[in-house]
Amino acid sequence: MKGRLGRYLPLLVIWLPLLINAGHVVGFTAWTTWLSFTPSDLLPEYDWAGIRAYRAVLRSENTEVAYINLLLYGVGFVGLTTLAGFVLAVLIDQRIRAENLLRTIYLYPLAVSFVVTGTVWSWLFNPGQGIQKFVRGLGWADFRFDWIIDRDLALWTIVIAAVWHGAGFAMALFLAGLRSIDPDLHKAAQIDGASPLRYYLRIAAPGVAPIAISVLVILLQYAIKTFDLVRAMTGGGPGIATTLPALVVYDFMFQRAQLGRGSAAAVLLLLSLLLVLLPYYAWAHWRARKERAANG
Amino acid sequence: MLVRRRHLLAGAAALAVAPQAARAQAKPRVTFISQWSSGSDGAAISGLGKRFEEEGGVWQHSPVPGFTTDMMNKLRAEIIGGNPPAASQLKGPEIAVWSKIAPTVNLDPLVAAAGYEKLIPAELVGLHKPQGHWIALPMQVYRTTTLFMSRPAMKKVGADKAPKTWAEFNALATEMKKAGIIPVANGGIRWDDGMKLEIALSGINCESYRGALMKLDPKALKSAEMLQAFAQLRKFADWMDPNIAAQHYSVNLPKFLKGEMGMLMMGGWAQGVIKNLGGNLDDVLITSVPQDEGKPVFVLNADSMIFWARKEPDLTAGQQLLAKLMMQKDVQEKYSQTTGSIPVRTDVDLSGSAWTDGQREASAVLNESFKSKRVLLSLAHNMAQTNPITAAMIDVLTEYVHNDKVTPEQGVARLAAAVDNARG
Amino acid sequence: MDKALRPGRWLLYAVLIGFALFSLLPLVVVVLNSFRTAVEIGRSSVIGWPEGLSWQNFTEAWGGYCIAQRCEGISPYMVNSLKLVVPATILSTALGALAGYSISLWRFPGDTLMFTIVVMGVFLPEQMKLIPWALVLRELGLTNTLSALVLIHTIQGLSFTTLFCRNYYIGIPQDLLKAAKVDGAGYFRTFWRIILPLSPPILIVTVIWQFTGIWNEFLYAVVFTSGQQQPITAALIALSTNGTVVTNYDVMSAAVLIGALPPLLIYLFGGRYFVRGLTQGAIK
């Protein structure tokens, strides 16, 4: 009897929380997908409405601008953050002084919420109160830094704020990766007379490639889900110049109280996430199989 | 677990409330949610709360921080959760939409007892009786078509009166620009952009506005007047400050009061904002926006509260007390004096010193427009259409204002297309 | 050759310090502004040195500022956040550790599928889950309470914590486990005796991540609680989105600083362990 209890209790402990979590993931996704095919407005309705909601969402001016923005923002944010993170990690790895201090300075933005990040950066970018006014106050009367109200440049202010927030995280991951490379390789390279640059390009970079992929994926999914930051910084403006897919979902679901269309927008968002994740999983799977083969 | 619409519809039959608080043994209590957490709105609603408590009630107001959408989310979550507040902020056509998803309170007996219905503009009455009986009460009325002129700016260009037609307005604006004054002091956020169009169109032709923005008649949406309105909107956009074009208009107020900016087309609430900033209302001339047709038009924006059915006796007693108070002259006077709006009741005397010239002028226009049937509902402030349609239209309008490559013809076409898409 | 003098080294430090300044800019601005008055800020810009050193903004933000007609400052909201974040972090971390341990070291049928689904949860956008959660909470009778938020964050947090812990535990050598099994240790004893002592690095990473994430979360905090039980994020939004009133940058800065303090302190003192935990294989 004790043996059986001993065998089943762990299963219960394992399964219950996991089941609840998996249940919520599958259930909520299924429910949202179902709703996207209904004419729901303020409250859920469960009649079939075909792809009407999808058509309306795709034809809406919001959506087009949002996905173009996502492309620009995604590339900008992920690219710059990854680059910054890698460079910072490499530089810090050079056995510099005040490593702890610098590392903390780079990491602390992660502690700040997106709402506060967006709010404070919106103060800084505000032409009437922020950097532009400050520099003008110093004497450069023609200095202009009003990107945030410029239709074409506002998105980049969001990129800057997002890079500020995430660079430390990328740095931490790359640093972890660099530090887990066998130190003997580094010594061997030095003995061989290879310059540090060569070491980093030839040995370290490939060594941290797996981490880089993880960084890219995590950052990309953050980019796709970006919501609070934009809301706090520009509210999607000027006009709809900085709107992003997550804001479109919120707009349809809550601002316009059109649940059906909001759910369709959410499903589109999930599909774009899958577009990023499936290749990653396939790659991770392939790599794991290669490793297993190599280890015999 | 699944919430079926039909099930809710069945339950949406309003519960009648008897005028006399017969069975209320507990202290009347009301739970209220709104977005009015600060500023003059916050002060006004707190004033109402204090009055409620003076009359023996328990006031429990949870303002929801953030934008109106956050408040609506909260309301919806509470309704879904089966725990709606006793009353909440809600306005315009949304009252009709939301009344279908949860049971409301039938206020007919209370309204009849106060003889209230004949004291209110007819356009408002319909919005609060979507299924034939009163379920919500208006709290205050604003005119969105108000023209604020900076007296210092007027002095600088030698103007002594406000423009009466759009042609005069455009001429004055050109003068101001030549004198180095920024002609239009409006901001660039969404509803501001929407307002600029409704101001232009209502000033051009009242019936065009009614057909296009209130009835969404396709012919009216593509009419010559609409094209003219978009052309005028383009002029507004060009006359705004390019540097702070996407912000809230209050950012421009210091310059406006000094005379560096000339004219602000805004709702009557701007009066309260100016006062709050420490501005002197003597520096401002408050009047109606230009009307090409000669007779004044009143584009109306009203805040309202809706009453949600609750079974608890203390809450039902509280609802009755709140409704009664909201219809009273002295309560409305105090509310409007705090926010700078006009009381809902048309029988309020505004000649006292507690009222400003701006409010008197607006009230006079309201009464006149009421008689000549030229009262319109504001599009930008969610009075003319439900949220989805308004949002889709404002998308087009705000894009038009901030993107000068869109021509008026394109603007008109896009607006009509957006309406179709939002409705389909 | 003394490393400190090489030109390459100067460039290196220049880049590092340059980025450090960029990183510090917002913090410096907020700290300085919390000692300035609104009048000062309006006159110059949000970047500037305080004219006096008054703690007034802090005392007002903490205890006196009126948020939604309640003039108690943000201190009650800070307490609410604590009441929310501490249980949610502890629960999600503990459950995640157990789950990660189970999936990585005790194979059972369907474990890969389960893991994939759980990890998918990390990627679901929160707006999409709002209404389903409202429906669930209704069934459970938990509307408008902090417990509702604890429940939501525990269940959702499980995705991240399981991911972190599983990736970490998978690196534990199988021999250790085999030895334990030979000794007759079952599921729980193995966890207690062997896994747990090896866990601090990953647990620290998880706790830091969860604490920060839940403390800073905004959407659910606003929708599923009201009035006095709201966490700090809701209060901060109340301070900033005043559509009709110009922002008081001074008190807001103080409030923002106080509100961000707990996660900041955690990163300040735990940052090193955070990196160390990551180094030891949190992300694979």
Architecture of domain C75-282 in this structure: Orthogonal Bundle (1.10)
Quick one: pLDDT band at residue B388, thresholds 50, 70, 90? Answer: confident
The count of structural domains within chain B is 2
Question: Is residue B30's pLDDT more than 90?
Answer: yes
What count of Cα atoms within 13 Å lies in the side-chain half-sphere of residue B67? Answer: 11
Question: Is residue A1's pLDDT more than 90?
Answer: no
Question: Is residue B367's pLDDT more than 90?
Answer: no
How does pLDDT run across B235-260, given as a tens digit for each residue? Answer: 999 999 876 666 788 878 888 988 89
Those residues with Cβ within 8 angstroms of residue B267's Cβ, 6 or more apart along the chain or in another chain? B142, B143, B144, B146, B195, B301, B381
DSSP string, A267-278: HHHHHHHHHHHH
As separate numbers, helices (DSSP H) first and strands (DSSP E) second, chain B gives: 19, 12
Question: Is residue C21's pLDDT more than 50?
Answer: yes
Residue B393 in contact with residue B385, Cβ under 8 Å? Answer: yes
Quick one: pLDDT band at residue C5, thresholds 50, 70, 90? Answer: low
Q: Do C117 and A25 touch (CB under 8 A)?
A: yes
Residue C48 in contact with residue C36, Cβ under 8 Å? Answer: yes
Q: Beta strand pairing status for B284-288 and B146-150? A: antiparallel
Q: By CB neighbour count within 10 A (0-12 exposed, 13-18 middle, 19+ buried), where does B271 fall?
A: buried
- Shortest CB distance from C45 goes to which of A26, A137, A270? A137
Please report the pLDDT score of residue B20 as a whole number.
Answer: 42
Same domain, B271 and B226: yes
DSSP state of B27: P
Question: Is residue C270's pLDDT more than 70?
Answer: yes
Q: How far is CA C174 from its chain centroid?
A: 33
Please list the alpha-helical segments (H only) found in C34-125: 38-43, 56-59, 75-105, 111-120
Instruction: Establish if A17 belongs to a structural domain.
Output: no
Same domain, B350 and B292: no
Q: Do A164 and C132 touch (CB under 8 A)?
A: no
In 3D, which of A213, A21, A215, A217 has the Cα closest to residue C121? A21
Q: From the CB of residue C4, how many other CB atoms can be counted at a distance below 10 Å? A: 10
Residue B342 in contact with residue B178, Cβ under 8 Å? Answer: no
Q: Do C134 and B41 touch (CB under 8 A)?
A: no
Mean pLDDT (whole number) for C30-53? 78
Q: Which residues of B touch C134 (CB under 8 A)?
A: 76-77, 80-81
Which structural domain, as residue segments, surrounds residue B327? 22-139+303-357
The count of structural domains within chain A is 1
- Count the residues in chain C: 284
Q: Do C186 and A10 touch (CB under 8 A)?
A: yes
Mean pLDDT (whole number) for A10-22? 80
Instruction: Establish if A169 belongs to a structural domain.
Output: yes
Nearest chain C residue to A179 by CA: give it: C279
Please list the alpha-helical segments (H only) found in A180-253: 183-191, 196-199, 205-225, 228-233, 245-250
Nearest chain B residue to C138 by CA: give it: B81
How does pLDDT run across C214-231, given as a tens digit for each residue? Answer: 999 988 888 888 777 888
Q: Which residues of B touch A234 (CB under 8 A)?
A: 246
Q: How far is CA A232 from its chain centroid?
A: 17
Instruction: Establish if A51 belongs to a structural domain.
Output: yes
Instruction: Establish if B10 belongs to a structural domain.
Output: no
Distance between CA A118 and CA A97 in Å, rounded?
32
- Interior/surface letters A85-103, b for 16+ CB within 10 angstroms, e for the rest: bbbbbbbbbeeeeeeeebb
Residue A65 in contact with residue A151, Cβ under 8 Å? Answer: no
Of B14 and A193, the one with more pLDDT: A193
Q: Do C144 and B83 touch (CB under 8 A)?
A: yes
Query: Can the peptide bond before residue A238 be classed as cis, meaning omega within 30 degrees of 0?
Result: yes
Mean pLDDT (whole number) for A18-47? 88
Of C80 and A202, the one with more pLDDT: C80
How does pLDDT run across A22-31, given as a tens digit for each residue? Answer: 899 999 999 9
What the block records as the tokens of B390 is: 């308004």
How does pLDDT run across C236-263, given as a tens digit for each residue? Answer: 776 665 443 456 778 888 888 888 899 9
Mean pLDDT (whole number) for A127-145? 80
Mean pLDDT (whole number) for C104-109? 77
Q: Where are the beta strands (DSSP E) in B155-296?
A: 182-184, 261-266, 284-288
In 3D, which of B389, B344, B356, B319 has the Cα closest to residue B29? B319
In 3D, which of B5, B32, B16 has the Cα closest to residue B104? B16
Which structural domain, as residue segments, surrounds residue A71? 36-294
Please report the pLDDT score of residue C58 as a whole number.
Answer: 83
What the block records as the tokens of C97 is: 């550790």
Distance between CA C150 and CA B349 in Å, rounded?
53
Euclidean distance between the first and final Cα of chain B, in Å? 29
Instruction: Establish if A191 belongs to a structural domain.
Output: yes
CA distance B246 to chain C (A): 13
Same domain, B88 and B112: yes
Q: Quick check: B247 contacting A, CB < 8 Å?
A: yes
Distance between CA A228 and CA A247 in Å, rounded?
9
Residue B140 in contact with residue B41, Cβ under 8 Å? Answer: no
What the block records as the tokens of B175 is: 């003068």
Same domain, B219 and B348: no
Distance between CA B116 and CA B110 in Å, rounded?
9
Nearest chain A residue to B192 by CA: give it: A239
Distance between CA B422 and CA B301 in Å, rounded?
22
Q: Which residues of B touch A44 (CB under 8 A)?
A: 2-3, 5
Residue C110 region, left (φ>0) first, then alpha (ψ -120 to 50), else beta?
Answer: left
Question: Is residue B2's pLDDT more than 50?
Answer: no
Dihedral sign of CA atoms A95, A96, A100, A105 in order: negative
- Shortest CB distance from C271 goes to which of A104, A173, A218? A104
Of B39 and B250, the one with more pLDDT: B250
Mean pLDDT (whole number) for B179-200? 90
Q: Do C238 and B61 touch (CB under 8 A)?
A: no
Mapping DSSP onto H, E and C, the string for C10-46 reads: HHHHHHHHHHHHHHHHHHHHHHHHCCCCHHHHHHCCC
Residue C74 in contact with residue C61, Cβ under 8 Å? Answer: yes
Residue B321 to residues B33, B52, B86, B107: CA-CA distances in angstroms? Answer: 17, 8, 12, 12
Q: What is the CATH number of the domain that holds A46?
A: 1.10.3720.10
Neighbors of chain A with 3 or more C-beta pairs under 8 Å: B, C
Instruction: Establish if A15 belongs to a structural domain.
Output: no
% helix, strand, coil for chain C, step of 5: 75, 0, 25
Question: What pairs with residue B100 in β-bridges?
Answer: none
Please report the pLDDT score of residue B167 as a whole number.
Answer: 92
Question: What pairs with residue B30 in β-bridges?
Answer: B59
Q: Do B418 and A61 touch (CB under 8 A)?
A: yes
Question: Is residue C185's pLDDT more than 80?
Answer: no
Distance between CA A296 and CA B367 in Å, rounded?
91
What the block records as the tokens of B363 is: 């009230």
Distance between CA B109 and CA C206 in Å, rounded?
60
Residue A246 to residues A67, C218, C240: CA-CA distances in angstroms? Answer: 10, 15, 22
Question: Is residue B343's pLDDT more than 80?
Answer: yes
Mean pLDDT (whole number) for A55-82? 90
Question: Is residue C135's pLDDT more than 90?
Answer: no
Q: Give the start-to-end residue ranges of the domains of chain C.
A: 3-64, 75-282
Q: What is the CATH number of the domain that holds B53?
A: 3.40.190.10
Q: Quick check: B248 contacting C, CB < 8 Å?
A: yes
Q: Quick check: A59 contacting B, CB < 8 Å?
A: yes
Q: Do B402 and A238 touch (CB under 8 A)?
A: yes
Radius of gyration of chain C (CA): 23
How does pLDDT run across B283-319, given as a tens digit for each residue? Answer: 888 888 999 887 889 999 999 999 999 999 999 999 9
Q: Where are the beta strands (DSSP E) in C106-229?
A: none
CB within 8 Å of chain C, chain B residues 260-299: 269, 272-273, 276-277
Instruction: Establish if B13 belongs to a structural domain.
Output: no
Mean pLDDT (whole number) for B127-136? 92
Instruction: Establish if B111 belongs to a structural domain.
Output: yes
Q: From the CB of residue B12, how many other CB atoms can be counted at a distance below 10 Å? A: 17
Question: Is residue C12's pLDDT more than 80?
Answer: yes
Same domain, B292 and B390: yes
Q: Do B246 and A127 touch (CB under 8 A)?
A: no
Q: By CB neighbour count within 10 A (0-12 exposed, 13-18 middle, 19+ buried), where does B144 fall?
A: buried
Same domain, B247 and B389: yes
Last residue of a domain, one of B317, B337, B357: B357
Question: Is residue B112's pLDDT more than 50?
Answer: yes
In 3D, which of A190, A220, A219 has the Cα closest to residue A204? A190
Quick one: pLDDT band at residue A153, thresholds 50, 70, 90? Answer: confident
Quick one: pLDDT band at residue B103, thresholds 50, 70, 90? Answer: very high
Question: Is residue B350's pLDDT more than 70?
Answer: yes
What count of Cα atoms within 13 Å lies in the side-chain half-sphere of residue C93? Answer: 23
- Shortest CB distance from B73 goes to which of C66, C223, C243? C223
Q: Do C272 and A100 touch (CB under 8 A)?
A: yes
- Shortest CB distance from A116 goes to which of C162, C260, C279? C260
Please report the pLDDT score of residue C1 as a whole number.
Answer: 43
- Shortest CB distance from B62 goes to which of C139, C226, C241? C226
Q: Do C69 and B83 touch (CB under 8 A)?
A: no
Instruction: Establish if B5 belongs to a structural domain.
Output: no
The percentage of chain A sitting over the pLDDT mark of 90, rounded to a whole number, equals 20
Please report the pLDDT score of residue A3 as a whole number.
Answer: 61
